[in-house]
Amino acid sequence: MSTSTAVRIYQRVRRLSEPLAQEVMDFVEYLEFKHNLRDLNTEHLRATQEPVMQAIWDNPEDELWNDA
C-alpha cells in the first residue's frame, strides 16, 4: 500500500464515530488474519490482557455502546 492510500484512509476514518471506527478496525484485523499478517507477539499480549479488560468492557455503564 502506498503512503498516500494510508493517508487517505486515515483522513476518512478519523471523521467516523468511535463505533464506526471500531468496525473499520475489525475489518483491518480480519484482513490481517486472512493474509497471515498478524504479529504473534502482539496477539499474545492481547490474549493476556483480555481477561483483565473484560471487566472494563462489560459493565452496565458501557451498555450504551453495545447497541450502536
User: What pLDDT, in 10s, does the model give residues 12-42?
Assistant: 999 999 999 999 999 998 898 888 887 777 7
Q: Does pLDDT of 62 surpass 70? A: no
Q: Is residue 59 within 8 Å of residue 48, measured between CB atoms?
A: no
Distances (CA, A) of 55 to 16, 28, 64: 26, 25, 16
Distances in whole angstroms, Cα of residue 21 to Cα of each of 2, 29, 64: 21, 12, 16
- Return the C-alpha cell found at 10: 486515515
Closest CA to 49 of 38, 57, 37, 61: 57
- pTM value is 0.52
How many domains is the chain built from? 1
Q: Regarding predicted confidence, which is higher, 13 or 61?
A: 13
Its domain, for residue 7, covers 3-66
For residue 66, pLDDT over 70 is answered with no
